Amino acid sequence: MDGQAEHATVVDVLFAIEGTVLPKDHRFVLLGALARGLPWLAADAAVGIHPIKAARDDDGRLLLPRRARLVMRMPESQFAAAAALTGQALDVGGWPLRVGAASVRALIPHGTLYAYFVTAESDDEQVFLQHAGARLAELGTPCKLVCGKRQVFAAGPRQVAGYSLMLHDLSREHSLRLQQVGLGRDRGLGCGIFVPHRSAAAVGSG
């Protein structure tokens, strides 16, 4: 989203969803299901799909609450195209998921931002922080970084590795910019998407 976000209003599009369970490593199959419902999505690496908030069972599967939401970050101009998901019944790794009405939520500037997962090219935490710091410098968004624990998840035939990351002491302008452009690859798998956060405790929780 780096190139587009500098010239577009970026928002979160929220969909009500109805379902019971999603598989343990659901990100890849969810992206595939969404791309079947929105054929243009597969070619648009700019759109981010937030991690779905849900508890997990003993097998690691997501147990969807009644008020679960699917949240996609994209330029506001794409809202009408994305809203075509409304009413669709998706197959997510063998589990049904029905998509409800869509609404728009503006990005909110905050001095502390948190990303659940930012992809890493190296399994060395210091190398990851150096790369992240260099990218933040390129974006002109100086801040303090706090790295969480290393994580790995399966995305079809490959393994995706990364870290949770918290950014502190951001100005209003820099906070919005980072939420717009994100950090790292695999935005469609929920990586590199920053949200406002009030506690550094979440960084270590992964």
167 or 45: which leads in pLDDT? 167
E strand or H helix that includes residue 175: helix 172-181
Instruction: Supply the pLDDT for residue 198.
Output: 74
Q: Nearest CA to 170 among 130, 114, 117, 131?
A: 114
**Per-residue pLDDT band at 173 (split at 50, 70, 90):** very high
Output 202 or 186, whichever has higher pLDDT: 186
- Looking at residue 204, its pLDDT comes to 38
User: pLDDT averaged over the chain?
Assistant: 91
The correct CATH number of 113-205 out of 3.30.70, 3.40.50, 3.90.930, 2.30.42 is 3.30.70
Class in CATH terms, 2-106:
alpha beta
Q: Given this model, what pLDDT does residue 199 score?
A: 56
pLDDT of amino acid 167: 97
52 within 8 A of 180, measured Cβ to Cβ: no
Pick the closest to residue 38 from 75, 74, 84 (CA basis).
Answer: 84
Q: Give dist(CA 176, CA 169) in Å, integer.
A: 13
Q: Where along the chain do the CATH 3.30.70.1890 domains lie?
A: 2-106
Residue 46 — pLDDT band, cuts 50, 70, 90?
Answer: confident
Q: What is the pTM of this model?
A: 0.89
In tens, the pLDDT along 73-96 reads: 999 999 999 999 999 999 999 999
Average pLDDT over residues 33-61: 93
Asked if 26 contacts 49 with a C-beta cutoff of 8 angstroms, the reply is no
pLDDT at 32: 96
Average pLDDT over residues 26-47: 94
- Neighbour order of strands in the sheet with 62-63: 21-22, 62-63, 55-56
Percentage of the chain with pLDDT > 90? 83
| pLDDT at residue 2, as a whole number | 45
